[in-house]
Structure 1
Amino acid sequence: MIREHRFVNDGWTFAYGEHPGAEREPADPDWFDVGLPHSFDLPDFRELRFYIGHGCYRRTLDVPESWAGKWIALEFLGVFQTAEVFVNGRPAGRHDGGYTPFTVDLSDLVRPGPNEVFVRVDNHWNPRLAPRGGDYSFNGGIYRDVSVIVADRVRIDWHGLGVTTPEADRARALVRAAVEVVNDEPHPVDVDVTAAVTQAGRPVADLGPQRATIPGGATATVALEGALDDPLLWHPDHPHLYDLTATVSVDGEARDAQSTEFGVRWFEFTADRGFFLNGEHLDLHGANVHQNRGGWGDAGTRAGIRRDVALVKAIGMNMIRGSHYPHHPYFAAECDRQGVLFWSELHFWGMGGYEAEGYWTASAYPVHEEHEADFEESLRQSLREMIRTHRNHASIVVWSVGNEAFFTNDRVVDKAKALTVELVDLVHVLDPTRPAAVGGAQRKGFDVLGDIAGYNGDGAELFMDPGIPNIVSEYHGVQGHGAGEYEVKWHHGVETDYPWRSGKLFWCAFHYKTIAKGGGRNGLIDYYRLPRRPWHWYRERLLGIAPPAFPPPGEAAAMRLRADADEIPTDGTGDAQLIVEFLDADGERVAAERSVTLTVVEGEGLFPSGTAITLGAETESLNDGAVAIEFRSYVPGRQRIRAASDGLAPVEIELTAVGEPRPVRPRRLAPPAPYITEAPEGAGTYSLADYRPVAASSALPGHGGGHATDPRSTECWRAADRGPGAWLTASLEFPYEVNRIEVRFAEPPVHPWVLETSPDGDTFEPLHCADAGSDASPEFEFPVRLAKAVRLSFPERPIDVDSIKVY
Structure 2
Amino acid sequence: MIREQRYVNDGWKFDFGEHPGAETAPPDPQWYDVGLPHSFEQPDYRAYRIYVGHGCYRRTLDVEESWLGSWIALEFLGVFQVCEVFVNGRSVGRHEGGYTPFTVDLSDAVTAGPNDVFVRVDNIWNPRLAPRGGDYSFAGGVYRDVSLLVADRVRIDWHGIGVTTPEASRERATVTAAIEVVNDEPHPVDVSVAAVIADPARAATTLPAVRRTIPARSRAVVELEGALTNPLLWHPDHPHLYDLTATVSVDGQARDTQSTAFGVRWFEFTADRGFFLNGEHLDLHGANVHQNRGGWGDAGTRASIRRDVAMIKELGMNIIRGSHYPHHPYFAEECDRQGVLFWSELHFWGIGGEDVEGYWFASAYPVREADEPEFEESLRRALREMIRTQRNHPSIVTWSIGNEAFFTADRVIDKAKALTVELVALSKELDPTRPAAVGGAQRKGFDVLGDIAGYNGDGAELYHDPGFPSLVTEYHGVMGNGPGEYEVKWEHGVEVDYPWRVGKIFWCGFHYKTVAPGAGLQGLADYFRRPKRAYYWYRELLRGIAPPAFPQPGTAAAIQLRADTETIPTDGTGDARIEVELVNAHGVRVADDRVIELTVEGGGVFPSGPRFTLSPEDHSVWDGAGAIEMRSYLPGPQRIRAEVEGLPPAEIVLTATGPIVANADRERRWPPPAPSLFEPPSVPRFMSVAAYRPVKTSSTAPGHLGGSATEPGGASWRAAGDAPGEWIAASLEFPYRIDRVEIDFADVPDRPWTLEAAEDGRAFAVVHRAEAGRERSVRVDFEPRTALAVRVSFPERPIGIEEIRVH
Distance, in Å, in 1 between the alignment partners of 2:341 and 2:724 is 45
Residue in 2 that maps onto 1:545: 545
What CA deviation, in whole Å up to 9, does each residue of 1:180-210 have, x standing for no partner?
0000000000000000001137433111200
**TM-score, normalised to structure 2's length?**
0.99
Residue in 1 that maps onto 2:258: 258
Residue in 2 that maps onto 1:698: 699
Residue in 2 that maps onto 1:517: 517
Distance, in Å, in 2 between the alignment partners of 1:159 and 1:203 is 26
What CA deviation, in whole Å up to 9, does each residue of 1:641-670 have, x standing for no partner?
110011111100110000011121211111
Letter of the 1:668 partner, please give it: R
Letter of the 2:159 partner, please give it: H
Distance, in Å, in 1 between the alignment partners of 2:314 and 2:725 is 41
Distance, in Å, in 1 between the alignment partners of 2:378 and 2:158 is 20
Distance, in Å, in 1 between the alignment partners of 2:617 and 2:373 is 45
Q: What is the percentage of aligned positions where both structures have the same residue? A: 70
Residue in 1 that maps onto 2:235: 235
Question: What are the residue-to-residue correspondences of 1:230-379 with 2, within 5 Å?
Answer: 230-379=230-379
Instruction: Give yes or no for the alignment of 1:656 onto 2:658.
Output: no
Question: What are the residue-to-residue correspondences of 1:708-723 with 2, within 5 Å?
Answer: 708-713=709-714, 715-723=715-723
Q: Is the 8 A contact 1:248 1:257 kept in 2?
A: yes
What is the Cα deviation at residue 731 of structure 1? 0.1
Point out the more displaced range, 243-252 or 589-598.
589-598
Residue in 1 that maps onto 2:409: 409
Q: Is the 8 A contact 2:594 2:615 kept in 1?
A: yes
Question: What SS does the corresponding residue of 2:349 show, helix, strand or coil?
Answer: coil
Letter of the 1:643 partner, please give it: A
Residue in 1 that maps onto 2:105: 105
What is the Cα deviation at residue 462 of structure 1? 0.2
Question: What SS does the corresponding residue of 1:178 show, helix, strand or coil?
Answer: strand
Structure 1 alignment gaps of length 5 or more:
none
What is the Cα deviation at residue 775 of structure 1? 3.9
What CA deviation, in whole Å up to 9, does each residue of 1:215-237 have, x standing for no partner?
00001000000000000000000
Letter of the 1:450 partner, please give it: G
Point out the more displaced range, 73-82 or 742-751.
742-751
Residue in 2 that maps onto 1:526: 526
Q: Is the 8 A contact 1:350 1:408 kept in 2?
A: yes
Distance, in Å, in 1 between the alignment partners of 2:685 and 2:289 is 31
Instruction: Give yes or no for the alignment of 1:682 onto 2:683.
Output: yes
Q: Is the 8 A contact 1:18 1:56 kept in 2?
A: yes
What is the Cα deviation at residue 774 of structure 1? 5.5
Residue in 1 that maps onto 2:136: 136
Distance, in Å, in 1 between the alignment partners of 2:202 and 2:33 is 44
Distance, in Å, in 1 between the alignment partners of 2:428 and 2:473 is 21
What CA deviation, in whole Å up to 9, does each residue of 1:517-536 have, x standing for no partner?
11000000110011110000
Distance, in Å, in 1 between the alignment partners of 2:786 and 2:667 is 48
Residue in 1 that maps onto 2:611: 612
Distance, in Å, in 2 between the alignment partners of 1:405 and 1:118 is 36
Q: Is the 8 A contact 1:532 1:623 kept in 2?
A: no
What CA deviation, in whole Å up to 9, does each residue of 1:503-555 have, x standing for no partner?
00000000000011110000001100111100000000000000011111222
Letter of the 2:612 partner, please give it: I
Question: What SS does the corresponding residue of 1:416 show, helix, strand or coil?
Answer: helix
Distance, in Å, in 2 between the alignment partners of 1:490 and 1:163 is 40
What is the Cα deviation at residue 301 of structure 1? 0.1
What CA deviation, in whole Å up to 9, does each residue of 1:137-195 have, x standing for no partner?
01000000000000000000000000000100000000000000000000000000000
Structure 2 alignment gaps of length 5 or more:
none
Residue in 1 that maps onto 2:444: 444
Q: Is the 8 A contact 1:131 1:364 kept in 2?
A: yes
Distance, in Å, in 1 between the alignment partners of 2:803 and 2:465 is 26
Q: Is the 8 A contact 2:593 2:625 kept in 1?
A: no
Q: Is the 8 A contact 2:593 2:622 kept in 1?
A: no
Distance, in Å, in 1 between the alignment partners of 2:165 and 2:269 is 18
Q: Is the 8 A contact 2:582 2:590 kept in 1?
A: yes
Distance, in Å, in 2 between the alignment partners of 1:712 and 1:152 is 62
Question: What SS does the corresponding residue of 1:690 show, helix, strand or coil?
Answer: coil
Question: What SS does the corresponding residue of 1:334 show, helix, strand or coil?
Answer: helix
Question: What are the residue-to-residue correspondences of 1:563-602 with 2, within 5 Å?
Answer: 563-600=563-600, 602=601
Question: What SS does the corresponding residue of 2:556 show, helix, strand or coil?
Answer: coil
Instruction: Give yes or no for the alignment of 1:190 onto 2:178.
Output: no
Distance, in Å, in 2 between the alignment partners of 1:722 and 1:274 is 37
Distance, in Å, in 2 between the alignment partners of 1:691 and 1:72 is 50
Distance, in Å, in 1 between the alignment partners of 2:223 and 2:70 is 25
Distance, in Å, in 2 between the alignment partners of 1:55 and 1:695 is 44
Letter of the 1:269 partner, please give it: F
Distance, in Å, in 1 between the alignment partners of 2:618 and 2:68 is 50
Question: What are the residue-to-residue correspondences of 1:496-515 with 2, within 5 Å?
Answer: 496-515=496-515
Distance, in Å, in 2 between the alignment partners of 1:12 and 1:735 is 39
Instruction: Give yes or no for the alignment of 1:470 onto 2:470.
Output: yes
Distance, in Å, in 2 between the alignment partners of 1:684 and 1:422 is 35
What CA deviation, in whole Å up to 9, does each residue of 1:347-390 have, x standing for no partner?
00000111110000000000000000000000000000000000
Residue in 2 that maps onto 1:628: 627
**TM-score, normalised to structure 1's length?**
0.99
Q: Is the 8 A contact 2:301 2:573 kept in 1?
A: yes
Q: Is the 8 A contact 1:530 1:623 kept in 2?
A: no
What CA deviation, in whole Å up to 9, does each residue of 1:587-646 have, x standing for no partner?
10111121100011x200000011111102122112322100000000000000110011
Distance, in Å, in 2 between the alignment partners of 1:628 and 1:158 is 38
Q: Is the 8 A contact 1:186 1:217 kept in 2?
A: yes
Residue in 2 that maps onto 1:453: 453
Question: What SS does the corresponding residue of 1:348 show, helix, strand or coil?
Answer: strand
Residue in 1 that maps onto 2:122: 122
Distance, in Å, in 1 between the alignment partners of 2:739 and 2:286 is 38
Question: What SS does the corresponding residue of 1:166 show, helix, strand or coil?
Answer: coil
Point out the more displaced range, 772-781 or 20-29.
772-781
Letter of the 1:104 partner, please give it: V
Residue in 1 that maps onto 2:644: 645
Letter of the 2:638 partner, please give it: Q
Q: Is the 8 A contact 1:196 1:203 kept in 2?
A: no
Distance, in Å, in 1 between the alignment partners of 2:722 and 2:232 is 57
Structure 1 vs Structure 2 CA RMSD = 0.8
Question: What SS does the corresponding residue of 2:381 show, helix, strand or coil?
Answer: helix
Question: What SS does the corresponding residue of 2:165 show, helix, strand or coil?
Answer: strand
Instruction: Give yes or no for the alignment of 1:147 onto 2:125.
Output: no
Point out the more displaced range, 329-338 or 193-202.
193-202
What CA deviation, in whole Å up to 9, does each residue of 1:732-790 have, x standing for no partner?
00100011110111012222211001111011110111123454221011221101100
What is the Cα deviation at residue 685 of structure 1? 2.1
Distance, in Å, in 1 between the alignment partners of 2:770 and 2:677 is 45
Letter of the 2:609 partner, please give it: G
Instruction: Give yes or no for the alignment of 1:380 onto 2:368.
Output: no
Q: Is the 8 A contact 2:288 2:320 kept in 1?
A: yes
Residue in 2 that maps onto 1:27: 27
Letter of the 1:608 partner, please give it: P
Residue in 2 that maps onto 1:423: 423
Distance, in Å, in 1 between the alignment partners of 2:143 and 2:432 is 31
Letter of the 1:687 partner, please give it: S
Distance, in Å, in 2 between the alignment partners of 1:195 and 1:397 is 25
Distance, in Å, in 2 between the alignment partners of 1:712 and 1:19 is 51
What is the Cα deviation at residue 90 of structure 1? 0.4
Distance, in Å, in 1 between the alignment partners of 2:52 and 2:134 is 16
Distance, in Å, in 2 between the alignment partners of 1:374 and 1:200 is 47
Residue in 2 that maps onto 1:741: 741
Letter of the 1:698 partner, please give it: S
